[in-house]
Amino acid sequence: MNIKKTNWPITILLCIGALTIIFPLYLTFVIAVKTPVEMAQSIWAFPKVFHFENFIKAIEMTNFFNAFKNSAIVTIFSVVLTVLTNSMVAYAIARNMHLRFFKFLYYYFVSALFIPFPILMLPLVKQMSSWGLDNVVGLIFLYVVFGLAFNVFLYVGYIKSIPKELEEAAIMDGASTWKIFWKVIFPLLSPMNATIAILTCLKAWNDFLLPLIILVDKDDATLPLVQYVFQSEFSANYNLAFASYLMALLPMIIVYLFAQKWIIGGLTRGAVK
């Protein structure tokens, strides 16, 4: 067939649509670098001078780096532990679906997809505090657990598509199940690991409800929680608030700018499989 020409009407429509995505972020930026007086003149005009002192003040007021550290710790550990534990159990399930125990386990996990969080929210809050887990560590456990249902569903589907011949060859060579998992299966799972790592990362980094109800100590607060506190205490000074919001959004945006292709690719691959 002929080489198609660029479809300009669609290009233009999509560009206009993209503006609705860019505009709120643009607004966040310009408000964050203005003073209240400049904002009174015009909300959306691009400022002549950047008032970066808003950021310095917001960093002080929210103890930004502490919250950043908490969010980073929660996210990194949740991702690593999720990928390790979930892929392992999924492998065991996928290769033993013919046994009643594993089949039961599969449905047991996946059925949690239908359980709304509020039903366990109240007892969970009590339980976490009485077990001394109303902190960052507890939060990590919860992200590992609450992702399990969906992750096992994805992993099992993916592992089933991996031919057993590879493992059989390894068994012939006398490799143990552990070794097969680590040396053969886990590397083959890389695309799915990436998908699940990205999903877990986004969930743990951006979540608000769990930190809100689980965390007690102010020093444990994650970035979204800190924004919530900040918003209600100093809501009148929008410039400071927006500087604070921008800083909370920025780490993820930076990671996204660098790894955008990989992130979208990872999620797409997860969906197709």
Partner 1 sequence: MFNNKKFLSILLAAVFAVLVLAGCNSEVGNASNDSANNEETDSSSNEGEVVELELFSTKTENPETYQRLVDKFEAENPNIKVEVVSQPDSLTVLKTRLTKNDLPDIIATGGNPTFGELGRAGVLKDFTDSPLVDDINEGFLYQVKDIVSYDEENVYGIPYAGNAVGVLYNKAKFKELGLEIPTTWDEFIEVADKIEAAGEVPFYHTWKDAWTITVPWNDLVINIAGDDFAQSKTEGEATFIDRYSEVADKMLTLRDYSHNDVFGKSYADGNQAFANGESVMYLQGNFAVPAIKEFNPDIELGMFTLPALNDADENMFVASVDVLFTMPKDAEHPEETMKFIEFMYEEENATQYMEEQFAISAMNNVTYIDPIMEPLKDKLAEGKIRQAPTHYYPAGFPAAQSIQEFLIDGDKDAFLKKMDKDWDAAVAN
Partner 2 sequence: MAKKHTFYVMTIPAMVLFFLFQTYPTIQGIFYSFTNWKGYGDWEFVGLDNFLRFFRDDRTQHAYSFTFGYSILSTILVNVISLFVALGLNAKIKFQKTLRAIYFLPNILSVLIIGFIFGFIFSHVIPELGASLGIGLLEKNILGNPNLAWIGIVLVAVWQAVAFNTILYLAGLQTVPMELYEAARIDGASRWIEFWKITFPLIAPFFTINVVVAMREFLMAFDHIVALTNGGPGTSTETISLLIYRGAFQDGDFAYQSANAVLYLIAIVLISVLQIYFLQKREVEL
Residues 249 to 268 in contact with partner 1, rule: CB under 8 A: 251, 254-255, 258-259, 262
Tell me how many residues contact partner 2 (CB under 8 A). 93
Choose one: 21-29, 45-53, 59-67, 162-170; the region binding partner 1 (CB under 8 A): 59-67
Convert residues 187-216 into a mask of x (bound to partner 1 by CB under 8 A) and - (unbound): ---xx--x--x---------------x--x
**Distance (Å, whole) CA 138 – CA 144:** 10
Distance of CA 241 to the CA centre of its chain: 23
User: Do 181 and 91 form a contact (C-beta atoms < 8 A)?
Assistant: yes
Q: Name which of partner 2, partner 1, none residue 262 binds, using a CB cut-off of 5 to 8 Å depending on partner kind.
A: partner 1
Nearer CB in complex with partner 2: 48/130:
130
Output DSSP code: residue 45. S
Distance of CA 133 to the CA centre of its chain: 21
Convert residues 126-165 into a mask of x (bound to partner 1 by CB under 8 A) and - (unbound): x--xx---x-------------------------------
- Phi, psi for 155 (deg, rounded to 5): -60, -45
Considering only 56, 97, 113, 166, the residue that binds partner 2 (CB under 8 A) is: 113
Q: Is 123 left (phi over 0), alpha (psi -120 to 50) or beta?
A: alpha
Considering only 23, 231, 264, 268, the residue that binds partner 1 (CB under 8 A) is: 231
* CB proximity list for 263: less than 8 A, separation 6 or greater: 198, 256
Least distance CB 80 / partner 1 (angstroms): 10
**Distance (Å, whole) CA 124 – CA 120:** 6
Considering only 29, 55, 68, 77, the residue that binds partner 1 (CB under 8 A) is: 68
**Distance (Å, whole) CA 81 – CA 137:** 12
**Distance (Å, whole) CA 172 – CA 226:** 55
Q: Does 76 bind partner 2 (CB under 8 A)?
A: no
Choose one: 46-54, 60-68, 157-165, 254-262; the region binding partner 2 (CB under 8 A): 254-262
User: Do 152 and 86 form a contact (C-beta atoms < 8 A)?
Assistant: yes
Considering only 20, 165, 232, 271, the residue that binds partner 1 (CB under 8 A) is: 232
Output DSSP code: residue 48. S
**Distance (Å, whole) CA 194 – CA 213:** 29
Q: Does 107 bind partner 2 (CB under 8 A)?
A: no
**Distance (Å, whole) CA 99 – CA 52:** 62
User: Do 179 and 170 form a contact (C-beta atoms < 8 A)?
Assistant: yes
Q: Name which of partner 1, partner 2, none residue 45 binds, using a CB cut-off of 5 to 8 Å depending on partner kind.
A: none
CB atoms under 10 Å from CB of 225, counted, come to 22
Residues 126 to 165 in contact with partner 2, rule: CB under 8 A: 126-127, 141-142, 144-146, 148, 152
Nearer CB in complex with partner 2: 73/229:
229
Interacting residue ranges for partner 1, rule: CB under 8 A: 63, 65-66, 68-69, 72-73, 76, 125-126, 129-130, 134, 190-191, 194, 197, 213, 216, 218, 228-229, 231-233, 235-236, 251, 254-255, 258-259, 262
